[in-house]
């Protein structure tokens, strides 16, 4: 199975359609995250993603304690996850099913608007799969049931210490920061699917912060971390993206496509275990 995964991955990386799939993938997700309600406060980092994914994937409401117990090693510390839970409840993204005196035992469920938003998120996440879907039959429609099964596999893989996001160490570092997923996607867009490398490209930290509702400090930190990773060089109001960024971004999207194929076929965990996709990269 590991060999089959590597063959599939190399076929995607060698396919001339990958750059356009990357651009379209980035466009679809950034458009969704920039629409009200802004997506960063919902899925702004791996901790918040893991919380929302756990509740969307669960067939029944979950208590705070149950959510904390489900967090994998890449999500965040328990204190930070607890803080994220409080923020999501305060924002109306999560609702209490009833109201016992002990908040830890109060079952929580995603608000209806959050379920609707995650439906659109699922469509955007699965969109790049179509050119490489191996079958049999057409690509499964991203229904709520399909999305819940996908998220259950992603979370189980993360709890097992597997890299459910297909991230290289650099991508994992960026995605662990607030707004990191969107920053990575914006760099893919700016580079036209990692095709414009070594050229001066416009990028405004202020505009990024304003569009996605993150602080300018977070935007500054993201650019600084990308510099440390060797992804970019700043030139006044422009950036030059490196071949290192292009290689990591292409591999990340290609692995995402291959893992989505595996998840939609219900075989994500055995594929990842065989391919040794660990959180360590």
Q: Which helix (H) or strand (E) holds 105?
A: none
Q: Is 49 exposed, middle or buried (0-12, 13-18, 19+ CB in 10 A)?
A: buried
Give the number of domains in the chain. 1
Over the stretch 210-253, which tens digit does the pLDDT of each residue have?
988 889 999 999 999 999 999 999 988 899 999 999 999 999 99
Specify the pTM. Answer: 0.85
Question: Rg (Cα) of the chain, in Å, rounded?
Answer: 18
- Quick check: is 264 in a domain? yes
- Quick check: is 205 in a domain? yes
DSSP for residue 268: H
- Quick check: is 99 in a domain? no
DSSP for residue 141: P
Please tell me whether residue 142 adopts helix, strand or coil conformation. coil
Domain enclosing residue 199, as ranges: 1-34+112-153+161-281
- Quick check: is 134 in a domain? yes
Over the stretch 101-129, which tens digit does the pLDDT of each residue have?
555 578 999 999 999 999 999 999 998 98
């Amino acid at each position: 199975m590991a060999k089959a995964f590597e063959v599939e991955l190399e076929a995607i990386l060698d396919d001339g359609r990958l750059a356009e799939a990357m651009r379209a993938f980035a466009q679809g997700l950034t458009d969704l995250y920039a629409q009200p309600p802004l997506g960063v406060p919902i899925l702004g980092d791996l901790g918040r993603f893991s919380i929302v994914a756990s509740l969307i994937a669960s067939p029944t409401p979950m208590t705070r304690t149950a959510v904390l117990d489900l967090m994998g090693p890449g999500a965040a510390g328990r204190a930070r996850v607890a803080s994220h839970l409080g923020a999501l409840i305060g924002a109306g993204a999560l609702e209490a099913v009833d109201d016992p005196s002990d908040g830890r035992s109060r079952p929580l469920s995603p608000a209806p608007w959050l379920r609707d938003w995650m439906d659109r998120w699922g469509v955007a996440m699965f969109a790049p799969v179509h050119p490489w879907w191996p079958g049999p039959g057409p690509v499964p429609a991203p229904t709520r049931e399909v999305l819940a099964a996908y998220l259950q596999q992603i979370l189980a893989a993360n709890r097992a210490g597997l890299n459910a996001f297909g991230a290289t160490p650099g991508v994992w570092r960026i995605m662990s920061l607030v707004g990191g997923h969107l920053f990575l996607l914006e760099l893919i867009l700016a580079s036209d699917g990692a095709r414009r490398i070594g050229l001066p490209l416009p990028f405004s930290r202020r505009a990024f912060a304003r569009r996605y509702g993150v602080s300018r400090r977070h935007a500054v930190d993201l650019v600084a971390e990308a510099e440390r990773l060797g992804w970019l060089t700043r030139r006044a109001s422009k950036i030059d993206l490196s071949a290192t960024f292009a290689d990591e971004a292409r591999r990340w999207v290609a692995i995402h496509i291959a893992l989505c194929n595996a998840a939609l076929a219900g075989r994500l965990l055995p594929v990842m275990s065989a391919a040794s996709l660990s959180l360590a990269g």
